[in-house]
Amino acid sequence: MPFFKLRLRSLAIALGTCLLLTGLHTGLPSTVTATALSTTPTTEIERSQPFIRPSLLADLQTTLSQAESSPLAQANVGEARQTYIAILKPQAVVPTAPETAARAVVGAVLVGDRLVIRANFRDLSSGFRDYAKDPVSPPNPNITSGFHLHRGNANQNGPFQYALAVTLDPSGISGSATGELTLSPEQKQALSDGLIYFDIHTTRNRGGELRGVLIPS
């Protein structure tokens, strides 16, 4: 099987995992239900693949390729690396899922202790929350955008770790985001444990419009 098809299949399985996790944590109707835990995860994920929207898979392929082709990733070809993806959905927002048609995806590659992040988002309900005019309490100067990396469990809001640099398209509600950061040992362990997630904050949904956990691809 050609490499491209292998990558697409790998991404589809990882995407199915994201959708499975979202369904289980939110209790929303899903093609994969809690009773599926008695069967092998891969089988259930593969069964869910016909319901995965091709646009999400294409977006994941794009963001992951961008992360892997970044100068940092290309300059350290000899180091151990792992790729990750995240699907950001409103149903994963804690404590209340907002009503929105927005979606976002993240592709990332860990090279040594450096995490390279590429993301895109579509159809937000409004523009990003402006933390200069609407800061958290107490204000945090490191929160420079409304696209964040956090550390925490799926059913709670964990501490802020990093803000991505956001580029908007002319609509002001779609665009892309990038980031590169050095992970501490605690952050690397959290990533390994599935405790790193991304969220997006908008003016309409200040506490969060989209959220998704970063998982291996």
Residue 106 belongs to a domain: yes
pTM of the model: 0.80
Q: How many domains, in total, are found in the chain?
A: 1
CATH code of residue 88: 2.60.40
Residue 3 belongs to a domain: no
Residue 119 belongs to a domain: yes
Closest among 129, 122, 127 to 146, alpha carbons compared? 129
Q: Number of helices (H) and strands (E) in the chain: give both, helices first.
A: 5, 10
Place 36 in a pLDDT band, splitting at 50, 70 and 90: very low
Residue 78 burial class via C-beta count within 10 angstroms: exposed 0-12, middle 13-18, buried 19 and up: exposed
Say if CB 51 and CB 30 are below 8 A apart: no
Residue 40 belongs to a domain: no
Residue 108 belongs to a domain: yes
Question: What residue numbers bound the domain in which 92 lies?
Answer: 53-216
Residue 34 belongs to a domain: no
Residues 87-122 as b/e (b if ≥16 CB within 10 A, e otherwise) read: bbbbbbbbeebbebebbbbbbbbbbeebbbbbbbbb
Q: How far apart are CA 205 and CA 201, in angstroms?
A: 6
In sequence order, what DSSP letters do the residues of 47-116 get, joined into one string? HHGGGS-HHHHHHHHHHHHHHHTSHHHHHTTTS-EEEEEEEEBGGG-SS-------EEEEEEEEETTEEE
pLDDT above 80 for 205: yes
Supply 163's token pair: 């803000």
For residue range 46-92, what is the model confidence (pLDDT) as tens digits? 333 444 567 888 999 999 999 999 998 888 777 889 999 999 999 99
**What confidence score (pLDDT) does residue 34 get?**
31
**What confidence score (pLDDT) does residue 189 get?**
98
Residue 110 belongs to a domain: yes
Residue 111 belongs to a domain: yes
What are 149's strand-pairing partners?
162, 198
For residue range 156-178, what is the model confidence (pLDDT) as tens digits? 999 999 999 999 999 999 999 99
Largest CA distance in the chain: 53
Q: How far apart are CA 203 and CA 172, in angstroms?
A: 12
Q: What is the DSSP letter of 184?
A: P
